[in-house]
Chain A
Amino acid sequence: MMDTLLDVEDLWVRFPSRQGVFDAVRGVSFTLGRERLGIVGESGSGKSMTGRAILRLIRPPGIVEAKQIALNGDNLMEKSEKDMRAVRGQKISMVMQDPKFSLNPVMTIGAQIIEAYRQHNRTNHADAYAKAVEMLQAVSIRDADRVMRAYPHEMSGGMGQRVMIAMMLIPNPQILIADEPTSALDVSVQRQVLDIMDGLVKERGMGLIFISHDLNLVADFCDRVLIMYAGRIVEVCEASKLSQAKHPYTRGLLNALPRLDAPRDHLEVLQRDPAWSTAPSVSGRVA
């Protein structure tokens, strides 16, 4: 049995509005070991909210409720904001979609990486600098010294995302949440970025939560997949057995994908059943 890093039980994310309370995530439960867990779903299915709720980054008026979000048995829901700051970055980190927006445009790459490192490590500037260069090299950036002095707008998308990965992994966290990390990238560099991320996560024995809307990518890349619909998990399966998924939503998504090896004249259109959004959430917990 693999050891459990993260145990999320009955997670709700709510947004009160004038029309009543909107539930973005409805009673989601899952565990994460030293594995690659994919969360798939369409826009608005609550997958990104789940990722941010784990880091307690949902801003007011949003409300996060959960029986527990336990990191190594330590319930994050009970932590103060100050204690949470020690968790963010150092224990759990997150890579976001588009490096164009997720890097501060007026700070050099170097300053931003060093800042991430020194937030959790008391070292002098020279050590932090050396560490940052080492980390940039680990994400296959040649000429790291030049990149350290560069600004985000001087980077290509793929390079920016590698910088982002370096920045998020430099405090050596146990869990990385990757929220659509390759959606903003060219197809040609997606694979390269994924491989770099995968290599580092494996090498460090980390747990990875990979949030994506791309079924093929997740099936290829992850060990286990949660399929979310309308704030709930509708199906949990091994990534390798995704093609044998049973839930009509998952089947519908799979059937809506064009396939090179089995061309069809017409792609099926997903028929939604209102019952899916009221059925209870399937647990993704591994006991």
Chain B
Amino acid sequence: MALADNNGGAQGRAPLPKWLTGTVKTLGSIAVTMLGLVFITFIIGRVMPIDPVLAIVGERATKASYDAVYLQLGLDKPLIVQFFYYVRDVAQGNFGMSLLNARPVAEDIARVFPATLELASLGVIFGVVLGVPLGVVAAVRKGSWIDQVARVLALVGYSMPIFWLGLMGLLVFYGMLGWVGGPGRVGIFYEDVVPTVTGMLLVDSIIDGNWTVFKDAFSHIILPASLLGYYSLAYISRMTRSFMLEQLSAEYITTARVKGMSEWDVVWKHAFRNIRVQLITVIALSYAGLLEGSVLTEIIFSWPGIGSYITTALLAADMNAVLGGTVVVGLIFILLNIASDLLYKVFDPRAR
């Protein structure tokens, strides 16, 4: 009887709209993944043989001041309780204080992340705008000189260490030719000239209408961005080429040719439409890779991004900063994944 009643209840309820259940599911999966991520980073942070108290008070502190800090950090409580406190704080956007500079980690991240975001976005734009057409042309003209050039470009991109290319780039374009700005985000005279809105200097200077700062910031970002762009170009162009080759040998391409379509239309209207989903995965992956902060690039170019922030924090045993940075990077990965999932549904009717 109870079963029958339940059935009746389920049928009586109006079905929820699809977009609503979809959104709830997505949010749920974000929450679960984030919780897992925070848990793992938290445990790793606590089992590391680093004494966070010592890192604050220093080795010559008295027992009294050591104990005071120990209690203040809540280290006397069981691990699981500490974890719940941490999750509660993170949920409110509070990653604790940085041990290094005694400022909230959240503020630090809000300062360094836009620098990385700016650099990575420009880099991935380079990689996509140049890499995708290069890959397509290399596939269409397989075996031609342009295919060979693309192959060599990619090979160099894969195998050349970025610190070497970065240093050479600085030497040639900054030191010898003087075409670009040197290390750092902007010349020292222009620092803190434009008000911070997004934290991205290029965007902020546009908002402020300050073209002098924009030009200077652009001349500083162009070299590291093209360097990162080159590396994602190498990857994106190779992947584009192999995706395109697969599609160009498909039978529907013959159909398009039988219709009397031009090669241009065959390539872009038919073959290219079919690689968009795969391309999104590749682009999202390389964007996520850049957003993690490319430590070497940021160090060579004195770029105050999240990569060098986490590295510095790690070396100084500043665990709150490391955990905060890791959680933010993880969140970005998850968000990018969801964004690419949504785009799949736009581009591939079979995924709907």
- Is B302 part of the binding interface, using a Cβ–Cβ cutoff of 8 Å? no
Q: How far is the CA of A56 from the CA of B348 in the complex (A)?
A: 32
Tell whether, in the assembled complex, residue A153 and residue B350 are in contact, meaning their CB atoms are under 8 Å apart: yes
Tell whether, in the assembled complex, residue A89 and residue B258 are in contact, meaning their CB atoms are under 8 Å apart: yes
Nearest CB in chain B: distance from A174 CB, A: 14
Tell whether, in the assembled complex, residue A104 and residue B257 are in contact, meaning their CB atoms are under 8 Å apart: no
Given A98-B251, A105-B274, A106-B273; A85-B262 close (CB under 8 Å): yes
Q: How far is the CA of A101 from the CA of B257 in the complex (A)?
A: 14
Given A107-B273, A153-B350; A101-B252 close (CB under 8 Å): yes
Chain B residues with Cβ below 8 Å from A85 are 260-262
Q: How far is the CA of A90 from the CA of B260 in the complex (A)?
A: 8
Chain B residues with Cβ below 8 Å from A90 are 260
Tell whether, in the assembled complex, residue B349 and residue A104 are in contact, meaning their CB atoms are under 8 Å apart: no
- Is A14 part of the binding interface, using a Cβ–Cβ cutoff of 8 Å? no
- Is A57 part of the binding interface, using a Cβ–Cβ cutoff of 8 Å? yes
- Is B198 part of the binding interface, using a Cβ–Cβ cutoff of 8 Å? no
Tell whether, in the assembled complex, residue B260 and residue A104 are in contact, meaning their CB atoms are under 8 Å apart: no
- Is A34 part of the binding interface, using a Cβ–Cβ cutoff of 8 Å? no
Nearest CB in chain A: distance from B41 CB, A: 39
Tell whether, in the assembled complex, residue A101 and residue B251 are in contact, meaning their CB atoms are under 8 Å apart: yes
Nearest CB in chain B: distance from A214 CB, A: 20
Which residues between 250 and 266 of chain B lie within 8 Å of chain A, taking CB atoms?
A: 250-252, 254-262
Tell whether, in the assembled complex, residue A55 and residue B258 are in contact, meaning their CB atoms are under 8 Å apart: yes
A97-109 vs B, Cβ < 8 Å mask (1 yes, 0 no): 1100111111110
Q: In this complex, what residue of B is CB-closest to A170?
A: B259
Chain B residues with Cβ below 8 Å from A242 are none
Which among A105, A119, A151, A164 is the interface contact of B261 at CB below 8 angstroms?
A119
Q: How far is the CA of A106 from the CA of B277 in the complex (A)?
A: 10
- Is B158 part of the binding interface, using a Cβ–Cβ cutoff of 8 Å? no
Tell whether, in the assembled complex, residue A115 and residue B259 are in contact, meaning their CB atoms are under 8 Å apart: yes
Tell whether, in the assembled complex, residue B258 and residue A103 are in contact, meaning their CB atoms are under 8 Å apart: no
Given A105-B274, A151-B349; A89-B260 close (CB under 8 Å): yes
User: Which of A97, A104, A108, A120 has the most chain B CB atoms inside 10 A of its CB?
Assistant: A104
B contact face: mostly helix, strand, loop, or mixed: helix
Which among A89, A101, A105, A116 is the interface contact of B350 at CB below 8 angstroms?
A105
**Size of chain B's interface in residues, with CB distance under 8 A?**
21
A161-187 vs B, Cβ < 8 Å mask (1 yes, 0 no): 000100110010000000000000000
Nearest CB in chain B: distance from A171 CB, A: 8
Given A104-B274, A151-B350, A153-B349; A57-B251 close (CB under 8 Å): no
Q: In this complex, what residue of A is CB-closest to B142?
A: A60
- Is B46 part of the binding interface, using a Cβ–Cβ cutoff of 8 Å? no
Q: In this complex, what residue of A is CB-closest to B269?
A: A115
Chain A residues with Cβ below 8 Å from B261 are 85, 115, 119
- Is A45 part of the binding interface, using a Cβ–Cβ cutoff of 8 Å? no
Chain B residues with Cβ below 8 Å from A89 are 258-260
Chain B residues with Cβ below 8 Å from A108 are 349
- Is A87 part of the binding interface, using a Cβ–Cβ cutoff of 8 Å? yes
Chain B residues with Cβ below 8 Å from A50 are none
Q: How far is the CA of A107 from the CA of B271 in the complex (A)?
A: 11
- Is B347 part of the binding interface, using a Cβ–Cβ cutoff of 8 Å? yes
Tell whether, in the assembled complex, residue B254 and residue A102 are in contact, meaning their CB atoms are under 8 Å apart: yes
Nearest CB in chain B: distance from A90 CB, A: 6
Chain B residues with Cβ below 8 Å from A55 are 257-258
Nearest CB in chain A: distance from B146 CB, A: 16
Chain A residues with Cβ below 8 Å from B348 are 105-106
- Is A86 part of the binding interface, using a Cβ–Cβ cutoff of 8 Å? yes
Chain A residues with Cβ below 8 Å from B274 are 104-106
Chain B residues with Cβ below 8 Å from A104 are 252, 255-256, 270, 273-274
Q: How far is the CA of A47 from the CA of B269 in the complex (A)?
A: 30
Q: How far is the CA of A120 from the CA of B269 in the complex (A)?
A: 17
Which residues between 93 and 152 of chain A lie within 8 Å of chain B, taking CB atoms?
A: 93-94, 96-98, 101-108, 115-116, 119-120, 151
- Is A88 part of the binding interface, using a Cβ–Cβ cutoff of 8 Å? yes
Chain B residues with Cβ below 8 Å from A107 are 270, 273
Could you tell me which B residues sit within 8 Å of A by CB distance? 250-252, 254-262, 269-270, 273-274, 276, 347-350
Mind listing 14 A-B residue pairs with CB under 8 Å? A88-B258, A93-B258, A96-B251, A102-B254, A103-B252, A103-B255, A105-B274, A106-B274, A108-B349, A119-B259, A119-B260, A153-B349, A168-B258, A171-B259
Could you tell me which A residues sit within 8 Å of B by CB distance? 52, 55, 57, 85-90, 93-94, 96-98, 101-108, 115-116, 119-120, 151, 153, 164, 167-168, 171
Since A57-B254, A88-B257, A94-B258 are in contact, a sample of 13 more A-B pairs with Cβ atoms closer than 8 Å, ordered by chain A residue number, is A57-B257, A85-B262, A86-B260, A87-B260, A89-B259, A90-B260, A103-B255, A104-B252, A115-B259, A167-B255, A167-B259, A171-B259, A171-B260
